[in-house]
Amino acid sequence: MTMHHPAMEAVHRRRYVPNLWDALAFGLVFAGLIILVHGGRETLAPLASLERSPVSLDPAKLPEYALRTTMRMLAAIIASLVFTFAYGALAAKSRRAEMVLVPLLDILQSVPVLGFLSFTVLGFMALFPGQVVGVELAAIFAIFTSQAWNMTFSFYQSLKTVPGDLDEVSRAFRLSGWQRFWRLEVPFSMPGLVWNTMMSMSGGWFFVVASEAISVGNTTITLPGIGAYVALAIEQRNLAAVGWAVAAMLAVILIYDQLLFRPLVAWSDKFRVEQSAGGSAPRSWLLDAARRTRLLQIVLAPVGDLLGRVPQQRLQLSPALPNKARKLWRGAWADRAWSVLVVVVSVYALWLIASFVATELAWPEVAKVLGLGVITMLRVVVLMALATVIWVPAGVWIGLRPRVAERVQPLAQFLAAFPANIVFPFAVVAIVRLGLSPDVCLSPLMVLGTQWYILFNVIAGASAFPNDLKEAASTFRIRGWSWWRKVILPGIFPYYVTGAITASGGSWNASIVAEVASWGGTRLTAHGLGAYIAQATEAGDYPRVVLGVAVMSLFVIVFNRLLWRPLYAFAGRRMRLD
């Protein structure tokens, strides 16, 4: 049967005339490749080469440092994605794995990973003795641990909420597990995953800066990058260099946003399940350019074809176990055996931690750490309250004015992505010069980077506030305090809670870098759990690090369970506008 069909012929007939977009796209593609090769070569050098070419404060070197830092980020995000697919899928598909993996993830999310930096550095250096790769991997791992958890959670939750009819389609048409994963599960989870990857990226910048200059006991290992540059600038009291670093960081984030996330967000829009075409779709000039190219489309067609084949394969494993064994495996007794195993392992793990900490530390130390935890918690609470008082009215004001919101919203998101620890030196200089109390004045640094989450979520909430309710409020002349209490605050509440959860989690983490700050030889220390962990890390005092991190995790978990979860549930129950 002969078919004359446009869709059939499209495969064979294409015009091979390159256009302007091609030139642009080719420039970008090749520049990207060169950069990758250049950056990659450096990581394979022996460790001694780091000492031969130490980090310099020359601004001309900054682009290269920025590149190295960015590549670490990229590597970490890829690792996070792979981890997400594996862990999320396992947790969602196996009932027994779910029992363990989900609570584990919940806890991992709350652990301040900065505290573990020194452990992981040692581990990775032992894996690749004498090579830069080891330290690089340690840095990448540190970033990974700050990114992976929320991405995994988002993926897991998407897998759990796959629409029933699409699930039935894939079963009724007998898609294999592999096909189902790529055709249904991954696409369905894409919008959430992209959003969480962006959030992770913002968090990651913070950690990459902190992880490039790692001091383990007496040795300090410095990887070329923006973080190391800032660390050196602090050591040499060079405020101008810090300024350069800030500028470089701004440029990097801007480029990253334009070249990676904008296209990604615009592309992932097609994975939304809502079937109506309403609303304005996100756009990206880069994606538009790539879609308009001719030559590039032809060159990339085989790649796309190859990728397209991945979900088309059935790749089905025939059941490895005989029927009888499978029945036993699924049975209630296997469930019980599994539960017993889980309990035994967790008890053993708890005992292990306790005995490790107990080798050197006694109960008074634990009480002291708990006390420090309370101090840090006080800081978090006060600062969150302050940020709320400032940013909620500001966010509402902006959000209700679409023109202002249009301009301010990207700025707020941008500020949230900016690693606040780069600007810490400015604050420290001010505190040193003015002779202020570090206990009070170092505190605001904790929310410096995280307050923006509150702002941009409140803006989003106020922008989404239904127009008819606004009109109703003004017709009935609801004004002043009663307008805030009865109209707008309930309207933005769910958004505020979302922002505040992120901000509060980030603030706990930031306390580890914010409660201790130095400027050259001057050292400012505030009392708190963050400072305790930072000092213990510097001294290589592992029992104290473990104790500090464990206590901080405990605080974060309790904080989440007792405050944020109930608030979130309340917002979902009572204040939904639909």
Partner 1 sequence: MATFDLPKTTAAMAGVPLVDLAGVCKVYHKQDNLDLVVLEDVSLTIREGEIVGLLGRSGSGKSTLLRIIAGLIRPSSGSVHWRGQPVSGPSEGVAMVFQSFALFPWLTVLENVEVGLEAIGVPAVERRRRALEAIDLIGLDGFESAYPKELSGGMRQRVGFARALVVHPRLMLMDEPFSALDVLTAETLRTDLIDLWMEGRLPIKSILMVTHNIEEAVLMCDRLLIFSSNPGQVASEVRIDLDHPRSRADPAFRQLVDEIYGRMTQRAPAEKMEKRVSEGLPGTGIGMALPHLSTNVLAGLMEALAARPYDGRADLPDLAATLQMEADEIFPMVETLQLLRFAEMADGDVQLTELGRHFVNSDVDARKRLFAEHLLAYVPLAALIRRVLDERSSHLAPFTRFSEELEDFMSEDRAEETMRAIISWGRYAELFGYDEQAKQFNLENPT
Select 270 or 561, whichever has its Cβ closest to partner 1: 270
Q: Which of these, 134, 143, 132, 141, lies nearest to 224 by C-alpha position?
A: 132
Q: Report if residue 173 touches partner 1, rule: CB under 8 A.
A: yes
Taking CB under 8 A as the criterion, the residue among 15, 17, 60, 165 binding partner 1 is 165
Q: Report if residue 523 touches partner 1, rule: CB under 8 A.
A: no
**What are the Cα distances from residue 223, in Å, to 42, 50, 209, 240, 243?**
11, 7, 10, 21, 20
β-sheet bridge partners, residue 9: none
Q: Minimum Å distance from CB 292 to partner 1?
A: 16
Q: Minimum Å distance from CB 277 to partner 1?
A: 5
Q: Which position has the token pair 């980030």? A: 506
Q: Minimum Å distance from CB 483 to partner 1?
A: 23
Q: Report if residue 168 touches partner 1, rule: CB under 8 A.
A: yes
Q: Report if residue 190 touches partner 1, rule: CB under 8 A.
A: yes
Q: Minimum Å distance from CB 568 to partner 1?
A: 18
Angle 156-209-246 from CA coordinates, rounded to 5°: 120
Q: Minimum Å distance from CB 291 to partner 1?
A: 13
Q: Report if residue 172 touches partner 1, rule: CB under 8 A.
A: yes
For the CA atoms of 50, 53, 59, 60, the dihedral, rounded to the nearest 10 degrees, stands at -120
Select 186 or 199, whichever has its Cβ closest to partner 1: 186
Contacts with partner 1 by CB under 8 A: the residue count is: 33
| DSSP calls for 277-344 | --SPPP--HHHHHHHH-SHHHHHHHHHHHHHHHGGG---PPPPSS-HHHHHHHHSHHHHHHHHHHHHH
Select 272 or 330, whichever has its Cβ closest to partner 1: 272
Q: Report if residue 317 touches partner 1, rule: CB under 8 A.
A: no
Q: Report if residue 174 touches partner 1, rule: CB under 8 A.
A: yes
Q: Cα(first)–Cα(last) distance of the chain, in Å?
A: 53
Q: How far apart are CA 461 and CA 412, in angstroms?
A: 14
Q: Minimum Å distance from CB 278 to partner 1?
A: 9
Select 456 or 493, whichever has its Cβ closest to partner 1: 493
Q: Report if residue 17 touches partner 1, rule: CB under 8 A.
A: no
Q: Of the listed pieces 52-60, 270-278, 352-360, 451-459, which binds partner 1 according to CB under 8 A?
A: 270-278
Q: Report if residue 189 touches partner 1, rule: CB under 8 A.
A: no
Select 179 or 507, whichever has its Cβ closest to partner 1: 179
Q: Report if residue 166 touches partner 1, rule: CB under 8 A.
A: yes
Kindly report the length of the chain. Answer: 578
Q: Report if residue 271 touches partner 1, rule: CB under 8 A.
A: yes
Q: Report if residue 297 touches partner 1, rule: CB under 8 A.
A: no
Q: How far apart are CA 135 and CA 27, in angstroms?
A: 32
Q: Minimum Å distance from CB 304 to partner 1?
A: 13
Per the structure block, which two tokens stand in for 182?
A: 């790529």
Q: How far apart are CA 110 and CA 389, in angstroms?
A: 26
Select 310 or 345, whichever has its Cβ closest to partner 1: 310
Q: Report if residue 5 touches partner 1, rule: CB under 8 A.
A: yes
CA 386 to chain centre: 24
Taking CB under 8 A as the criterion, the residue among 179, 189, 200, 498 binding partner 1 is 179
Q: Fill in the per-residue mask, 272 to 291: x = in contact with partner 1 (CB under 8 A), - = not in contact.
A: xxxxxx--------------
Q: Report if residue 175 touches partner 1, rule: CB under 8 A.
A: yes
244 close to 59: Cβ distance less than 8 angstroms:
yes
Query: Where is 445: in which H helix or E strand?
Result: helix 444-448
Q: Report if residue 169 touches partner 1, rule: CB under 8 A.
A: yes
Select 179 or 463, whichever has its Cβ closest to partner 1: 179
Residues 6+ apart with CB under 8 A from 401: none
Sign of CA dihedral 435, 441, 446, 452: negative
Angle 444-449-451 from CA coordinates, rounded to 5°: 75
Q: Which residues of this chain interact with partner 1, rule CB under 8 A?
A: 1, 3, 5-8, 163, 165-166, 168-169, 171-176, 179, 183-184, 187, 190, 270-277, 311-312, 314
